[in-house]
């Protein structure tokens, strides 16, 4: 009896896990991508860098819970990277947790 109860509990726990639910299916594709603004101070100093972001996509295709995972310029580009990714739009009805995106800030040298 105890084994059956334990098995039932573990099965229910796994089925209710938000991470498992959100990762089912195909990763959504972006349908609207907003480019980040280049911070004026970084442009004047000719700084470049990368910001790695982690975020979730809800059922409406909105980016939620964006956070900076790492950056290469001591936070100079973090605000603009977060602002840009927050305005991205993904395919609806494909919620997904744990999306990752690297945003590279480079000055075009022509």
Evaluate whether residue 38 is within a structural domain.
yes
Quick: pLDDT tens for 4-62. 433 434 443 344 445 444 455 689 999 999 999 999 999 999 999 999 999 999 999 99
Domain that holds residue 83: 27-105
Evaluate whether residue 83 is within a structural domain.
yes
CATH label of the domain that carries residue 76: 3.30.2420.10
Question: Are residues 58 and 64 in contact, defined by beta-carbon separation less than 8 angstroms?
Answer: yes
Evaluate whether residue 11 is within a structural domain.
no
Evaluate whether residue 2 is within a structural domain.
no
Count the domains in the chain. Answer: 1
Give the SS3 label for residue 92. Answer: coil
**71-85 average pLDDT score:** 97
The token pair that represents 45 in the structure block:
């100093």
Q: What is the pTM of this model?
A: 0.75
Evaluate whether residue 19 is within a structural domain.
no
């Amino acid at each position: 009896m105890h084994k059956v109860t334990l098995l039932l509990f573990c099965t229910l726990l796994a089925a209710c896990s938000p991470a498992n639910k959100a990762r089912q299916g195909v990763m959504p594709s972006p349908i609207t991508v907003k480019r980040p603004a280049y911070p004026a101070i970084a442009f004047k100093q000719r700084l470049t860098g990368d910001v790695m972001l982690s975020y979730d996509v809800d059922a409406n295709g909105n980016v939620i819970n964006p956070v900076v995972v790492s950056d290469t310029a001591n936070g100079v580009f973090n605000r603009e990277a977060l602002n840009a990714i927050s305005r991205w739009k993904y395919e609806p009805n494909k919620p997904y947790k744990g999306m990752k995106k690297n945003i590279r800030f480079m000055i075009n040298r022509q």
